[in-house]
Amino acid sequence: MFETIGEMFKLSFVNRAIIVGSLVSLCAALLGVSLVLKRYSNIGDGLSHVGFGITTVAVGLGATATLPIAIPVVIFVAILLLKVGNNHKIKSDSAIAIISSSALAIGVAVTSVTSGLNTDICNFMFGSILAMSISDVILSIVVSIIVLILFVVYYRKLFAVTFDEDYSKAIGLKTGRYTNLIAILTAIVIV
């Protein structure tokens, strides 16, 4: 049994998957605490659907590199969701559900009407961590390090904004800035 596991680790694609999976899980765990405590536990699901929608639109329009398109759009939607969530008329879970289902519907519609798009929707939605190239791994490492550094540098302020936003405002913290930082970091990790 241990020989089989040892043989697995000799494969380069398994090592790449373990590296990226470990880094993404570390970033997601750190951000997840803030998101759950701020009652945005569904935002990861919603942003992943937005990422799918924008990726299919980009591919449908002929873009070869979808990441430079997807990241800014998902960041914008993450900030929008956190702003809408602070609105007392619309609850954050409702806003996430509306945007999530709309983005998924747009992605499926674009995929079905785009001629020459010979791909399975599952490839866009789930991908495969085992199929990551070296450049994907390097990009994931760089992005994960940036997210971890920003989280550590701003930890106290993010902690204060997460646990007691009213107190944070009272002591002069710009809570909107740190809420946006949480949204941006979450969007980057999701994409």
pLDDT 10s digits, 86-142: 766 777 778 888 898 999 899 888 888 876 665 656 666 666 777 778 888 898 999
Q: If phi over 0 gives left and psi between -120 and 50 gives alpha, with beta otherwise, what is residue 143?
A: alpha
Contact 143/19 with Cβ under 8 angstroms?
A: no
- List, for residues 138-167, the tens digit of each pLDDT value: 989 999 999 999 999 999 999 999 888 888
CA distance 5 to 54: 38
Q: Where are the beta strands (DSSP E) in the chain?
A: none
Contact 124/103 with Cβ under 8 angstroms?
A: no
